[in-house]
Amino acid sequence: MRLAFFGGIYNNHLALATAIADARSRGVDAMWCLGDLGAFGPHPDRTCELIRENNISVVQGNYDHSIGHGLNDCHCGYTDPRDNHFAQLSYDYTLAHTSDDHRAWMRSLPAQQRLEINGLRLLLCHGSPRRTNEFLWESTTNTQFLARLCDDFECDVILGTHTGLHWTRSSDTGSGVFFRPPSPIHQVKLNDGGLKKTPDPFAFINVGVLGRPENDGTTNVWYTLLRTGNDVRGGRSPLPWEVEFVPLAYDHEQLAREMQDERLPDEFIETILTGWWTTCLEVLPSKERTRGRW
Amino acid sequence: MNVTEQRLPIIELGSLDELWFQVAGTRCNLTCSHCFISCSPHNDSFGFLSFAEVERRLLEAVEWGVKEFYFTGGEPFLNPELVAILERTLDFGPATVLTNGTVLKPEWLDRLRAAEQGSLYSLEFRVSIDGPTPELNDPIRGPRTFERALHGVELLVQFGFLPIITMARVWDESQDAEILGRFRAVLHLHGYDRPRLKVLPRLLLGAEAKRTCGYSASDRVTAEMLVGYDTTQLVCQHSRVITDRGIAVCPILIDSPDAILGHTLHDATRGFAVTHGACATCYQYGAICTNPSSRSPDAHVRTIDRT
Ligand code: SF4
Ligand code: SF4
């Protein structure tokens, strides 16, 4: 099987349309979106329409939950006043421009989804399987913790988004030393005499986002292809799956023009045009922050 | 009042996500007037942790799927094995060290820079400075500590780190924005062009309890207050602290005898009654000890049950 996974769209309907065409041209069997349709960009309804017209299944992100229920903010989990100021601007814009019909649909989305494909148990979520808006950054999430999540949630592969940066780690590519027996907390909870075994191999995949570039000075955005079964290209992957992160160029200048017309903040437009994040920086851990410009 | 009718506000350990190391015990080169565990050059109530002890706990933590490691004191860099300890920790996961920034040496930072670059994980420095001027900081932290800590920040920046400056709120909360703005400007002048800042509430414990009037009997969390409260906001719901006298429930209460829960992680997973005055500060401000990148998200977002 070939599956395409889109992370946060953040109203970037131009990147979404390009990604759908790109994934189709690669012969994918299905497309998924892991939530956060709104924020940041222009014309929220265009994203919702594209998603629904193309039958893309969606896991509900914190943004979709907030917009769907008309809450007063996005619950992205920012801690800094400046970050919250900008998050609120885009939230208020998105809420005001999302139709009631799309909002009702957002409320109906599942918080996570399980798929069983070629014998692999996939768990699709937004932030982490345990909390919609939990940030799992590459540099602050160790391999043993990922093993615990796969163990606790009884799956082989967890897919999420939320942080805005793609990455993956598997039992095969981690720091190597960590075979992890079931955690003692859960041993205590198990009454059937059996011990749960950490799935091996296991992986976490952050599929990236289509909404904005990755704070690396390039303007492209990212989505993820997952190949399983016979579609794993021989010799390339020692695992029973293969992950390909796809850099996607799209008409970012057109997006910037639309954002200008909608009077969205210059800081956001700068990010689209330069590839560097200008807001929401305070939640980044040191390694990820150091790689950026600001 | 009938005592048996009162339910205790017990917080169970939901998930052991962070393991703290009281790596310098209560030994510090400074004697800040607001130190909540009264650290000083002479306070030996808690001693240093050795490299071997930390390594043993790191291995134990693998089994638990612990996600992050924090190092505190006292002043961690007084422990002569700290650099080696941090290097080893970065094999296991992300490390955060809470320092006063006044004793850092270039040769240590050189090694730590290399260790972080060679690791999958982040090494975070949190430097405590209580305000943007010596006039605000020094009366609390000691003469010339502002200047010395800023020198530490300069060194960290030179070695490519982006320290998080943490400050205890020794001013009124309404002044936060103004003070943070002034602080950013000062840090810019010292070569730190993208400063990361975090304001912490003061804890009325230890030396700070003597300086102020401490907590009153009404500053208490009750079982009723926990109904509907997102307990993941409390550090004791997802952390434990290794000290040389046993494993403590949280980094804030190590001085309270009931906070030492046992000697193995297994013993230390039992729940804890959050009946201390400081617990009321945690209750009010939430997640005060963890980094912004791993802050427990807010209460309004649903937690997903296992499906
Ligand atoms: S507050 Fe920190 S720097 Fe000050 S005495 Fe206590 S441990 Fe030392
Ligand atoms: S002081 Fe805070 S972290 Fe410690 S036990 Fe009380 S509530 Fe929990």
Work out the average pLDDT over A246-266.
97
CB neighbours of B258 closer than 8 A, spacing ≥ 6?
none
Asked whether the CA dihedral A231, A235, A239, A243 is positive or negative, the reply is negative
Residue B236 near ligand 2, beta carbon < 6 Å: yes
User: Which atom of ligand 2 is the closest one to the Cα of B237?
Assistant: 8
> Could you tell me the two tokens for B58?
């790191």
* Residue A278 in this model has a pLDDT that exceeds 50: yes
Name the band, by pLDDT with cuts 50, 70 and 90, for residue B211.
low
Residue B287 near ligand 2, beta carbon < 6 Å: no
pLDDT in tens, A99-153: 999 999 999 999 999 999 999 999 999 999 999 999 999 999 998 899 889 988 9
Q: Provide the residue count of chain B.
A: 307
At A252 the three-state DSSP class reads helix
Using most ligand atoms within 8 A of CB, pick from B274, B275, B281, B290 the residue to mutate for ligand 2: B274
Residues of B whose CB is below 8 A from A79: 198, 292, 295
**CATH classification code of A2-291:** 3.60.21.10
Q: A284 vs A59, A135, B122, B132, B288, CA distance in Å? A: 24, 9, 10, 23, 17
Predicted pLDDT of residue B292: 67
**Quick check: A79 and B292 CB within 8 A?**
yes
Residue B39 near ligand 1, beta carbon < 6 Å: yes
Distance CA A281, CA B233 (A): 22
Gap from B212 CA to chain A (nearest CA, Å): 28
How remote is the CA of residue B279 from the centroid of ligand 2, in Å? Answer: 5
Q: In chain B, where do the E strands start and end?
A: 10-11, 18-22, 68-72, 95-99, 123-128, 164-168, 196-200, 239-243, 246-248, 260-262, 272-273
pLDDT in tens, B2-16: 444 578 999 999 999
Q: What residue ranges do the domains of chain A occupy?
A: 2-291
**Quick check: B293 and A140 CB within 8 A?**
yes
pLDDT in tens, B174-198: 888 888 899 999 999 999 998 998 8
Read off the pTM: 0.91
pLDDT in tens, A179-214: 444 444 444 344 455 545 566 788 999 999 999 999
Q: Provide the residue count of chain A.
A: 294
Q: What residue ranges do the domains of chain B occupy?
A: 15-219
Residues of B whose CB is below 8 A from A151: 65
**Quick check: A65 and B301 CB within 8 A?**
yes
Q: Taking CB atoms and an 8 Å cut-off, how many pairs form between chains A and B? A: 144
* Residue A215 in this model has a pLDDT that exceeds 60: yes
CATH superfamily for domain B15-219 = Aldolase class I (3.20.20.70)
* Residue B1 in this model has a pLDDT that exceeds 50: no
Option in A80, A112, A149 nearest B307 (CB): A112
Work out the average pLDDT over A10-17.
98
Q: Tell me the HSE value of B183 on the side-chain side, using a 13 A CA sphere.
A: 26
